[in-house]
Structure 1
Amino acid sequence: MTIVDFREEIKRLDVAERILLAEEIWDSIVENQEAVAISQAQKDELEQRLEFYSNAPEKGLSWQEVKLRIQKSK
Structure 2
Amino acid sequence: MPIDFSHLSPQERLDLIGELWESLDEGDVPVSEGVRAELDRRNAAFQESRVKAVSWTELRGVLRPGRA
Could you tell me the TM-score, scaled by structure 2's length? 0.49
Give the structure with the higher percent helix.
1
Highest RCO, 1 vs 2 (Cα 8 Å, sep ≥ 6): 2
Could you tell me the TM-score, scaled by structure 1's length? 0.46
